[in-house]
């Protein structure tokens, strides 16, 4: 359970660690777009860069700064480039908190 996600503003994202990343945990980018929460794995499918948190590019996309690739957090698809999709996770909102199914 990730607490306090109701405080994540529209058009913003932040990196969240689920479990211990050194012991098999997962790092995700949790973002809010169009009033919904989405979760994307931090690992960029292009060349192993890291998708970062912060403002969504164009208010809609998460990005990997290594080559500037953008991904749609709703489905993980790369935008404007030929690249595999980023891994996404199902998010269920429970009041001010959420569950991410990894």
Which three-class secondary structure state does DSSP give residue 98? strand
**What band does 61 get if pLDDT is binned at 50, 70 and 90?**
very high
pLDDT at 27: 94
CA 101 to chain centre: 13
Mean of per-residue pLDDT scores for the chain: 94
The answer to whether the beta carbons of residues 71 and 40 sit under 8 Å apart is: yes
User: pTM here?
Assistant: 0.92
**What band does 84 get if pLDDT is binned at 50, 70 and 90?**
very high
Is residue 1 scored above 90 in pLDDT?
no
Task: Look at the chain and report how many structural domains it folds into.
Answer: 1
Q: What is the mean pLDDT of residues 62-66?
A: 95
Expressed as residue numbers, the domain containing 44 is 5-101
Is residue 21 scored above 80 in pLDDT?
no
CATH number of 17's domain: 2.102.10.10
């Amino acid at each position: 359970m990730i607490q306090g996600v109701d405080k994540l503003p529209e058009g913003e994202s932040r990196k969240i660690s689920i479990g211990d990343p050194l012991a098999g945990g997962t790092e995700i980018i949790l973002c809010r777009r169009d009033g919904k929460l989405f979760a994307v794995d931090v690992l960029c499918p292009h060349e192993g860069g890291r998708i970062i948190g912060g403002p969504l590019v164009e208010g809609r996309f998460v990005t990997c700064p290594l080559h500037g690739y953008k991904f749609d957090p709703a489905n993980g698809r790369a935008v404007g480039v030929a690249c595999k999709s980023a891994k996404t996770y199902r998010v269920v909102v429970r009041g001010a908190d959420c569950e991410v199914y990894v």
